[in-house]
Amino acid sequence: MPEVISRAAPPAPETDEAPARRTAAQRVIQLLDAVWRPALLLVLLVFGWWAITAAEVFPAYLVPAPGDVANELIEEREMLARHTWVTTYETVLGFLLAAAIGMLAAVLIVYSPTLEKALYPLILFAQVIPKIAIAPILVVWFGFGPMPKVILAVLIAFFPVVVSGVAGLRSTDPELLDLSATMGASRWKTFRKIRFPNALPHLLSGLKVAVTLAVVGAVVGEFVGADEGLGYVLLLASGNLNSSLLFADLILMSALGVVLFVMVEVAEKLLIPWHASRRQGVPLTTS
Amino acid sequence: MPETMTTQPAAAAGEQRAATTIDITDLTCTFTSKRKRTTALTDVSLSVEAGEFVSIVGPSGCGKSTLLKIVAGLVPPSSGDVRLLGNPVTGPQREIGFAFQRAALLEWRGVRANILLQAEMRNMDKRQAAARADQLIELTGLTGFESALPHELSGGMQQRVALCRALLHEPPVLLMDEPFGALDALTREHMNVELHRIWRETGTTVVLVTHSIAEAVYLGQRVVVMTPRPGRIERVYDVDLPAVRDYGATMSSSTFEELAREIRVLLGASGHHG
């Protein structure tokens, strides 16, 4: 039936081949197009910051000049790199554990009503309890090492993973599950081939929230009791009224969060290209 | 495709039962929600012979989809007896192909991979399944779109993919729940012609639930007309048309027109829907 196909065909070749044929130059242009607006805003903000310090509106020990902060970043690079590495390590470990534990909890909740009843109140309780209030207890229990920071990062980051995981796993089309049943598929196979990939878009948006929260968890942990890490440096700098170091440290913390966020976004692009590219709507049921 | 009938293990058991593929006796189905009890089906009895094509038409909410799901073992009946290929239906049935109203494709898989889901779930032989998938892709005119994702396909093509998936394991029984309901009239006609051809070529037993009287009469050897809720079988018509049906000729034949009119009147008399 060639006439049916020719009528239906147009969207497929375009979406299929256009990305593959894009040249390197076009990619650069596309990247610049995405970047120039926030870059311009950033430049304006830094300029405004510089103007304020140049006019000496505030004393230098309260607001350091951008140049001083840049100097601090360069001169103290070895010390700052070491502390950034510590915080990165705590954050990433906490995030990965949160992702694993959160997914596991989501699966248990979706597959077992009994476990849902048992787990859900506990998870909610763990969420509403002020994490900063637990930090001192964790330090008492686990000392000044990375352990309490990792645990804090996990505690803060795992809730969005659970919520998005549950939403994703529950969003499976019931007809797909019926179909799977008529195929005689095992629960595990249905999970692996239908439910889990279907949950990925939800899950990844939860992971994006989680990774930024994990940074917060690690830094808060360092505030309470640490001898290394960006949070520790921040306390040190504020104690010495070293505002340049304080700002430099702040910039590094934000950069860490941004880099980790972008990494999850890249993972998202790689894992679910089918979802990101889903623009033409799938025909919906009529009755 | 004569091998269709030999691949299924229940064939031997079915022989002494005079080749009855689906046997429904005194079926009742009641759903209980918090507020009320809804009787979806009452006193439904129906037999479908091997290789037969049976269409079921009825107004919205007459329980025809429920009937199909009961046969597939996806919904348990409240009372009554359902047998598929001679065996009582107690849980999801594997000896069937099921096509839904929506194509229900996996968004992240291309056409070919979507069809092969059937093989993966059933642990079918990979090479055989691949060959069969290619055959079906050609049969349904999907050649050239093997790697296209569902959102890149038109509604008609999505349904073809779903049909291929339902046929991959050469099931003795194909259950279809308004598979062309979401398609435009023209595409729907093409799909009807294709389904007719596929049925002729594979000898599969088909039960088709539909809203369209034309579709039901053109495709079916028998047309089952159901009443609105609670669903009962109002009448069963034998379609007195040749086994091989040309679409245009069938549509303009007097037998077709008369039967279609009769069914329309019956449906019009038994409810407001049509």
Tell me what percent of the residues of chain B surpass a pLDDT of 70. Answer: 91
8 A C-beta contact, residue B55 and residue B220: yes
Residue B100 lies in a domain: no
Q: Annotate B26-61 with b (16+ C-beta within 10 A) or e (fewer).
A: ebebeeeeeeeeeebbbebebebebbbbbbbbbbeb
Contact residues for B171 (Cβ-Cβ < 8 A; gap 6+): B8, B95, B96, B97, B204
B165 and B175 assigned to the same domain: no
Residues A45 and A165 in one domain: no
Judge: A12–B120 Cβ closer than 8 Å, yes or no. Answer: no
End-to-end Cα, chain B, rounded Å: 37
- Across the interface, whether the CB atoms of A280 and B152 are under 8 A apart is answered yes
Query: Do A115 and A81 lie in a common domain?
Result: yes
Q: Residue B156: name the closest of A9, A177, A278, A287 by CA.
A: A9
Q: Tell whether A283 is covered by a domain.
A: no
- Does residue A269 surpass a pLDDT of 70? yes
Mean pLDDT over A82-94 rounds to 94
Q: Shortest Cα distance from B221 to chain A (angstroms)?
A: 24
A69 in the same domain as A202: yes
CB contact under 8 A, B60 and A287: yes
Q: Are residues A181 and A166 in the same domain?
A: yes
Q: What is the ipTM of this complex?
A: 0.79
* A156 in any annotated domain: yes
What CATH number has the domain bearing residue B44? 3.40.50.300
Instruction: Looking at the structure, tell me whether residues A37 and A120 fall in a common domain.
Output: no
B231: DSSP letter: B
What pLDDT digit, counting tens, does each position of A198-219 carry? Answer: 999 999 999 999 999 999 999 9
Q: Is residue B63 part of a domain?
A: yes
Q: Which residue has the higher pLDDT, A272 or A211?
A: A211
Suggest the residue from A179, A268, A282 to mutate for an interface test with chain B (most B CBs closer than 10 A): A179
Same-domain check for residues B253 and B193:
yes
Same domain for B56 and B124, yes or no, is no
Evaluate whether residue A281 is within a structural domain: no
Domain boundary among A13, A41, A57: A57
Q: Are residues A76 and A147 in the same domain?
A: yes
Checking if the pLDDT of B61 tops 80, the result is: no
E strand spans, B19-144: 20-32, 37-49, 53-57, 79-84, 87-88, 96-99
* Separate counts of helices (H) and strands (E) for chain A: 14, 0
Q: Does the CB of A286 have a partner CB in chain B at under 8 Å?
A: yes
Q: Give the mean model confidence (pLDDT) for residues A107-117.
A: 89
Are residues B91 and B227 located together in one domain of the fold? Answer: yes
Q: For chain B, what is the domain count?
A: 2
pLDDT digit string, tens, across residues B112-136? 999 999 999 988 888 989 998 998 8
Q: What is the reported pLDDT for A22?
A: 66
By the 10 Å C-beta count (0-12 exposed, 13-18 middle, 19+ buried), A122 is classed as exposed
- Give CA–CA dist A52/A47, Å, rounded: 9
**Domain match, B239 and B184 both:** yes
Domain count, chain A: 2
User: What is the mean pLDDT of the segment spanning A147-156?
Assistant: 92
In degrees rounded to 5, what are phi and psi of residue A24? -60, -40
Q: Is there a single domain that holds both residue B51 and residue B136?
A: no
Q: Please report whether residue A1 resides in a domain.
A: yes
> Do the Cβ atoms of A103 and A161 come closer than 8 Å?
yes
Radius of gyration of chain B from its Cα atoms, rounded to whole angstroms:
18
Cβ–Cβ contact A21 with B under 8 A: no
CB atoms within 10 A of CB B210: 24
Residue A285 pLDDT: 35
Residues A116 and A219 in one domain: yes
In a shared domain, residues B86 and B185 = yes
Which of A36, A57, A78 is the last residue before a domain boundary? Answer: A57
**B88 and B211 fall within a common domain:** yes
Six token digits for residue B89: 């239906």
- What's the confidence (pLDDT) of residue A93? 96
Q: Using N-to-C axis directions, what is the helix angle for A243-271 and A66-75, rounded to 10°? A: 80
pLDDT in tens, A221-230: 998 888 899 9
Q: Do strands B79-84 and B20-32 pair parallel, antiparallel, or not at all (unpaired)?
A: antiparallel
Of B121, B144, B170, which residue constitutes the final position of a domain?
B170
Contact (CB<8Å) A12/B153? yes
Pair (A44, A149) in one structural domain = no
Range of the domain at A24: 1-57
Pair (B35, B17) in one structural domain: yes
**HSE-CB of B180 using CA atoms within 13 angstroms:** 23
Retrieve residue B261's tokens. 């009119």
Q: Among B116, B140, B170, where does a domain finish?
A: B170
Same-domain pairing of A53 and A101: no
Are B7 and B78 contained in the same domain? yes
The answer to whether residue A19 scores a pLDDT higher than 90 is no
Q: Are residues B153 and B234 in the same domain?
A: no
Query: If residue A269 lies in a helix (H) or strand (E), which one and from where to where?
Result: helix A243-271
Query: Is A140 an 8 Å CB contact of chain B?
Result: no
Domain of residue B148, residue span: 105-170
Mean pLDDT along residues A100-120: 90
pLDDT at B139: 80
Looking at beta carbons, which residues of chain A come within 8 Å of B145?
Answer: 5, 9, 12
Report whether pLDDT(A80) > 50. yes
Same domain for A80 and A214:
yes
Q: CB neighbours (10 Å) of residue B139? A: 19
pLDDT at B269 over 80: no
> What sections of chain B are H helices per DSSP?
3-6, 11-15, 64-72, 111-122, 126-139, 155-167, 185-202, 213-219, 247-252, 254-270
Better pLDDT: A255 or A31: A255
Mean pLDDT (chain B, rounded): 82
Domain boundary among A57, A81, A99: A57
Domain membership of residue A115 (yes or no) is: yes
Domain co-membership, A88 together with A192: yes
Instruction: Name the residue facing A181 among B74, B106, B190 (closest C-beta).
Output: B74
CATH no. for residue A196?
1.10.3720.10
Residue A21: per-residue pLDDT:
55
Chain A residues touching residue B97 (CB < 8 angstroms): 182
Asked if the structure places residue B138 within a domain, the reply is: yes
Q: Which helix (H) or strand (E) holds B225?
A: strand B222-226
Name the domain boundary from B120, B136, B170. B170
CB within 8 Å of chain A, chain B residues 213-272: none
- Domain match, B68 and B112 both: no
A199 occurs within a structural domain: yes
Assess whether A130 and A166 both reside in one domain: yes
